[in-house]
């Protein structure tokens, strides 16, 4: 991807999307689940409906895939497999959303797509059409999808048109803030597999713009203007991280950058892009959360700090921290990339859903 980008052959993210193409599986139902591609609120979704008799109203999940807002698809083999299993094992309706991707569609377009799908699905007539219990609906997502799920959960609370309340929010190794890209987890996992710091910085910057000035400022962690300094209280890891995760790192406070980038690309200071920037008052009424974090992951501290902030605001939180796992580990549950850690994380997640959704 990098070579093709430098040579002007294709955009960096177009190169990465070849992974999506290789992992894509054609639409197909099976003996347990009927799968259809349709649209909700003009946004493509892959819909999973259990075949067995409901025995009452069903649970439902609206799912947002990961991929740094730039790659990924509901039809990728791992996402399709997980959606089928959740639909079958929990007798649940699963709506897996194919939101538009950056760089073609930058923030807030991906957020607006997933929000409009969720709002559409939560209408009483739609829930009734699919036999869904309005008291048992959750949003969920991994990585960038976890970011979108957290942002949707926050936004729904401020929307007077939405009467149905979410039962839960499931955030799997989520990206939750673009304020401090030099957290202990970013430093400790700088060059770890799947999501090195440089790639996460690229994903964040491409979500807002292809202007290399923002990417370079983010890479040096000097992209926040002094007038936004008050926001650092929400991501102050010396307060929100447990001591064992701070390690030998010493908190020194922010190094501020030019105000021009924030004026040109205000999205990175918007809670819809960085849910960790939400005030305590905004967090307080949120639904119970299941948060998965992995030790060997640049995004580890985002999830850990959000769990701490939600708890401090009185929100029930189940925080599962996997000491032996890396970013995206739950995707590795199919041959030829079939890992015990992936199965363990997925089974723990499904067990929580079974008991709490």
Note whether 221 and 182 are within 8 A (CB): yes
Q: Hey, what are 13's tokens?
A: 């993210």
- The alpha-carbon radius of gyration of the chain (Å, integer) is 19
Exposure of 166 in the CB half-sphere (CA atoms within 13 A): 29
Looking at 142, 297, 301, 302, which residue is catalytic?
A: 297
CATH number, domain of 201, equals 3.40.50.1820
* Catalytic residue flag (residue 238): no
Of the chain, the percentage scoring pLDDT greater than 90 comes to: 90
* Catalytic residue flag (residue 228): no
Report how far Cα 219 is from the mean position of its chain's Cα atoms: 21
Q: How many domains does the chain have?
A: 1
Looking at 65, 223, 296, 327, which residue is catalytic?
A: 327
State pLDDT tens for residues 96-150. Answer: 999 999 999 999 999 999 999 999 999 999 999 999 999 999 999 999 999 999 9
Note whether 86 and 108 are within 8 A (CB): no
Question: Where in the sequence is the domain holding 183, given as residue range(s)?
Answer: 1-356
- pLDDT value at residue 294: 98
Judging by DSSP bridges, how do beta strands 92-97 and 43-50 pair with one another?
Answer: antiparallel
For the chain (357 residues), the mean pLDDT of every run of 10, in chain order, is 58 75 93 98 98 93 98 96 98 98 96 98 98 98 98 98 97 98 97 92 96 97 97 97 94 93 97 98 98 98 98 98 97 93 98 98
- Specify the residue for token string 């591609």: 37
Looking at 1, 87, 96, 143, which residue is catalytic?
A: 143
* Catalytic residue flag (residue 324): no
Residue 204 Cα distances to 176, 178, 273, angstroms = 11, 7, 9
Which residues share a beta bridge with 302?
Answer: none
């Amino acid at each position: 991807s990098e070579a093709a980008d430098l040579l002007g052959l294709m955009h960096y993210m177009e190169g990465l999307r070849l992974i999506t193409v290789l992992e894509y599986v054609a639409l197909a139902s099976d003996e347990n689940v009927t799968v259809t591609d349709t649209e909700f609120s003009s946004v493509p979704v892959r819909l999973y409906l259990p075949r067995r008799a409901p025995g009452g109203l069903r649970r439902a999940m609206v799912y947002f895939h990961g991929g740094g807002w730039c790659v990924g698809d509901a039809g990728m083999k791992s996402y399709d497999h997980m959606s089928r299993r959740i639909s079958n094992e929990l007798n649940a309706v699963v709506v897996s959303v194919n939101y538009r991707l950056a760089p073609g569609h930058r923030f807030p377009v991906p957020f607006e797509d997933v929000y409009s799908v969720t709002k559409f699905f939560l209408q009483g007539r739609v829930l009734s059409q699919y036999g869904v219990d309005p008291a048992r609906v959750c949003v969920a997502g991994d990585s960038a999808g976890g970011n979108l799920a957290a942002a949707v959960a926050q936004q729904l609370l401020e929307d007077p048109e939405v009467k149905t309340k979410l039962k839960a929010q499931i955030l799997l190794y989520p990206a939750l803030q673009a304020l401090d890209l030099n957290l202990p987890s970013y430093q400790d996992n700088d060059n770890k597999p799947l999501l090195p710091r440089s790639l996460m910085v690229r994903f964040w910057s491409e979500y807002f713009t292809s202007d290399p000035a923002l990417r370079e400022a983010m890479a040096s962690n000097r992209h926040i203007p002094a007038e936004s300094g008050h926001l650092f209280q929400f991501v102050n890891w010396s307060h929100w991280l447990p001591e064992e995760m701070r390690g030998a790192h010493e908190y020194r406070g922010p190094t501020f950058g030019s105000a021009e980038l924030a004026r040109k690309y205000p999205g990175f200071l918007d809670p819809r892009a960085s849910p960790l920037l939400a005030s305590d008052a905004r967090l307080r009424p949120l639904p119970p959360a299941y948060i998965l974090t992995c030790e060997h992951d640049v995004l580890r501290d985002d999830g850990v700090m959000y769990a701490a902030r939600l708890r401090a605001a009185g929100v029930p939180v189940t925080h599962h921290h996997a000491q032996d796992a890396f970013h995206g580990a739950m995707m590795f549950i199919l041959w030829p990339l079939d890992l015990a850690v992936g199965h363990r994380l997925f089974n723990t997640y499904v067990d929580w859903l079974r008991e709490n959704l």
